[in-house]
Amino acid sequence: MSLIADRISALGSENAFKLGDNIAECQAMGLDVIKFNLGEPDFDTARHICKSAAENLYQGNTHYCPPHGIPSFRKAIAKQVSESRGIEIDPDLVCVTTGAKPPISYSVQTYVNPGDEVIYPSPGFPIYESWIRFMGGKPVPLHLEESKSFSFAADDLAPLITPRTKLIFINSPSNPTGGVLGKVDLEEIAQLILDKGHPDLRIYSDEVYEEIVFDGLDHVSIASMPGMLERTILVSGHSKSFAMTGWRLGYAILPTAEEHAVFKNLNINSISCTPPFIQEAGREAYENPMTQKIIDAMVAEFQIRRDYAVPALNAIDGITCANTRGAFYVFPNIEGVCHNLGVIDAYNDLAEEIKSVSSPSKLMQMFMLYKYGVATMDRKSFGEIGTDDKHFLRLSTATDLESIKRGIERISEAVADQDGFTAFISAGEHLK
């Protein structure tokens, strides 16, 4: 008998949370680390939202509340989603959760039997692949291409849909690529799903970056396409749009009362409820007109940073970087760097037990962190299956412009530092 149950070995993780230990180690060694790893806005939550939570706390709004969310907040969510997507949302189909992450596991648990196929974007948010594997689903990665700015069309999805496809994850705007799905592509994807998908196939639309779109674009949801509301689990939350990551506030909108009841029961079984004073603050975020101005200023700043980072990365020998249209990430291709510095050969020469948990882009990630004080994230942090020959890094632009400039300067030095890279590999530390 073993202490830890066998199933746990199938559970993946989110390296963004794990990298903190490496960064702390570098800082303890005296390195000034520029953090391109952060998956959260570097802005504080607006004061009026904080004030609402504080007032609710002082008024004693500190008890258990309905497991699927307080009625006033569910109504506010339904109103915001209805108005922004041009659809009619029933507040009784809204299930409030502690962040936009729980609905991922809830959906895989609710819909996927062992062997059922689940399509998900790769590169994509790592928790999709983690839960699909954990629940015994068959992971079917939809590989997104740099040449298409990490968007995809119905033609790319069509070959992956089979009669066993049970769930399709989509995420626009995307973590980690900043890719955005446009209306025409979404219309065609929706039509494809209607034509080719099993009637019980569900689409999981992760819209947690809905407010963070650039160049005057509007966020479009697949749930707005004809026939899709009845098939879509629409998920979003306050973490990114309202700079509220630590509050843990999100929601899922389910297609039917039956599915909503399952999500409600999953809440009962895991968290009981989302704190009511947090939900009241979430309602204030929607209803106070000051919020939109604060979001607009934040998004404008993210766009300025994107406008700097993408050309600056493209100017580095060995790096290409697709332009992004949303979220606060850029996803440069470092294949040229891997060839220039001999990273792929160095990786191939590693012992098997290190190779199995590392990759060429991981070696670059660690080299740049430990030798240049630049924290980035490797390709495999965003989907492992079928990615051995893909060499990318994710940089978050949720850090001030000055730091972005200094960080990219350091990257340009690191990718030209052949002696430093050779010495790093020879030292044999931090290779995974």
The residues of the shown chain that bind ligand PLP, judged by CB under 6 A, are 39, 99-101, 125, 171, 175, 206, 208, 237, 239, 245, 250
Terminal-residue alpha carbon distance, the chain: 30
What gap in Å lies between CA 235 and CA 259, rounded to an integer? Answer: 14
Phi, then psi, of 411 in degrees rounded to 5? -60, -40
Nearer to ligand PLP (CB atom), residue 104 or residue 337: 104
What minimum distance in Å lies between the beta carbon of 155 and ligand PLP?
Answer: 24
Nearer to ligand PLP (CB atom), residue 125 or residue 421: 125
CA nearest neighbour of 234 among 213, 195, 263: 263
Nearer to ligand PLP (CB atom), residue 247 or residue 421: 247
CA 305 from centroid of its chain's CA atoms: 19
What gap in Å lies between CA 238 and CA 248, rounded to an integer? Answer: 8
What minimum distance in Å lies between the beta carbon of 420 and ligand PLP?
Answer: 32
What minimum distance in Å lies between the beta carbon of 53 and ligand PLP?
Answer: 16
Is the peptide bond preceding residue 102 cis, with omega within 30 degrees of 0? Answer: no
392 secondary structure, DSSP code: B
Nearer to ligand PLP (CB atom), residue 125 or residue 370: 125
Tell me the two tokens of residue 159: 């070959």
Contact 67, 264 (CB under 8 A): yes
What minimum distance in Å lies between the beta carbon of 23 and ligand PLP?
Answer: 17
Half-sphere exposure of 50 (CA within 13 A, CB side): 8
Nearer to ligand PLP (CB atom), residue 208 or residue 330: 208
What minimum distance in Å lies between the beta carbon of 244 and ligand PLP?
Answer: 8
What minimum distance in Å lies between the beta carbon of 254 and ligand PLP?
Answer: 17
Distances (CA, A) of 282 to 73, 186, 275: 7, 29, 11
What gap in Å lies between CA 249 and CA 240, rounded to an integer? Answer: 10
What minimum distance in Å lies between the beta carbon of 81 and ligand PLP?
Answer: 16
Give, for 62, the enclosing helix (H) or strand (E). none
What minimum distance in Å lies between the beta carbon of 13 and ligand PLP?
Answer: 13
Nearer to ligand PLP (CB atom), residue 151 or residue 358: 151
Nearer to ligand PLP (CB atom), residue 298 or residue 338: 298
Nearer to ligand PLP (CB atom), residue 91 or residue 178: 178
Phi, then psi, of 119 in degrees rounded to 5? -95, 140
Contact 362, 377 (CB under 8 A): no
What gap in Å lies between CA 354 and CA 337, rounded to an integer? Answer: 21
CA nearest neighbour of 165 among 143, 187, 139, 128: 139
What minimum distance in Å lies between the beta carbon of 128 and ligand PLP?
Answer: 9
Tell me the two tokens of residue 259: 């599915």
Q: How many CB atoms lie within 10 A of CB 301?
A: 18
Nearer to ligand PLP (CB atom), residue 245 or residue 323: 245
Q: Are strands 329-330 and 393-396 parallel, antiparallel or unpaired?
A: antiparallel
What minimum distance in Å lies between the beta carbon of 106 and ligand PLP?
Answer: 12
Tell me the two tokens of residue 316: 């580095």
Nearer to ligand PLP (CB atom), residue 278 or residue 316: 278
Q: Tell me which residue has its CB nearest to ligand PLP.
A: 99
